[in-house]
Amino acid sequence: MSASKVVFLPGAVLPAPLAYSGLVDLLGDDVEAIVKDLEVYRGASPPADYSLDTEVDGVLRETGARGWTRFHLVGYSGGGAAALACAASEPSRLLTLSLLEPAWGGHWDWSPRHERLWSEYDALAQLSHEDFMAAFTRLQVRSEVRLPEPRSAPPPVWMSRRPAGIRALMRTFKTYALDRNALRRFDRPVYFALGGLSNPDQYGEIAERLGGVFRDFTLEVFHQRHHFDPPHRQEPSRLAESLRSVWLRGDLLASAGAD
């Protein structure tokens, strides 16, 4: 069987090559990869009309340039939210969908705990860039998790654009109309990797909701991982095995003409 064609979308902090280099290197010749940065960082500042559709358009542009008609899509955090939007709006293009703790999962009848968490995210809007990033990361993990102290060395140049990009993503999460019925109709394999130390009021509840929507849904819990030491960086061998399994199923379904 030929190499699997896969698009990897990162979160809103690390650039895609830094986020996925270890995993893609491990996958080797089994994968023909597009490791794609988010469109929110394509220019000097987020586009004024930015939405998750901007990210979907970017995925279609890059795959179109390669001549790919069908592909596997992997998205982490903000990239996971973009991957969900792609599954809803362009389902025929996807062979499989792999979600690595998507930051947002659409508009549902969320629990009070989930709603309170998003109110806490809203309250970060007035913070300075430095304070914003510290509070933003703290909210996404369990209270007992000890996050690393900020480094004393100057941050990389790309880091200065992250608060604006994260805020743009959070704004579109409030208004974007993710088509739930389209997700219910999506019949390709869906894989979800969940960190056991991530904030369950966010990522655990998103996994639970999506697990009740997608027809073919596999949840894998990485008990020692959280959102900022995710499996694609800390347990790439285990994740690679899981991804290969779901990609094989997707490729076989496509070969059998199960559309």
The per-residue pLDDT for range 61-80, each reduced to its tens digit, is 999 999 999 999 999 999 99
pLDDT value for 1: 60
Give the separation between CA 204 and CA 32, rounded to whole angstroms.
31
- For residue 259, is pLDDT > 60? no
pLDDT of 241 strictly over 90: yes
Q: Using an 8 Å Cβ cutoff, are 51 and 171 in contact?
A: no
> What percentage of the chain has pLDDT greater than the value 90?
88
Give the contacts of 224 (CB within 8 A, at least 6 positions apart): 196, 197
Pairing of strands 94-102, 31-35: unpaired
Distance CA 181, CA 69 (A): 23
pLDDT at 139 over 50: yes
Question: Could you please report the per-residue DSSP string of the chain?
Answer: -PPEEEEEE--SSS-HHHHHHHHHHHHGGGEEEEE---GGGSSSS--TT--HHHHHHHHHHHHHHHT-SSEEEEEEEHHHHHHHHHHHH-GGGEEEEEEEEES---S----HHHHHHHHHHHGGGGS-HHHHHHHHHHTTB-TT--PPPPPSSPPPGGGGGHHHHHHHHHHHHHH----HHHHHH--S-EEEEEETTB-IIIIIHHHHHHHTT-SSEEEEEETT--TTS-HHHH-HHHHHHHHHHHHHHHHHHHHTT--
4-255 adopts what CATH topology? Rossmann fold (3.40.50)
For position 164, what pLDDT does the model report? 93
pLDDT tens digits for range 165-210: 999 999 999 999 999 999 999 999 999 999 999 999 999 999 999 9
Arithmetic mean of pLDDT, 129-142:
91
Average of per-residue pLDDT values in the chain: 94
User: What is the rounded (10 degree) CA torsion for 241, 246, 248, 252?
Assistant: 170
Residue 143, pLDDT > 80, answer yes
Which of 68, 63, 102 is closest to 84 using CA atoms? 102
Please check whether residue 190 is in contact with residue 210, taking contact to mean a CB–CB distance below 8 angstroms.
yes
State pLDDT tens for residues 205-238.
999 999 999 999 999 999 999 999 999 999 999 9
- Cα–Cα distance measured from residue 44 to residue 103, given in angstroms and rounded to the nearest whole number: 23
pLDDT at 103: 97
pLDDT band at residue 149 using 50, 70 and 90 as cut-offs: confident
Sequence spans of domains, the chain: 4-255
Length of the chain: 259
Residue 257 token pair? 């003409």
pTM: 0.96
pLDDT of residue 128: 85
At 30, give phi and psi (nearest 5°). Answer: -70, -15
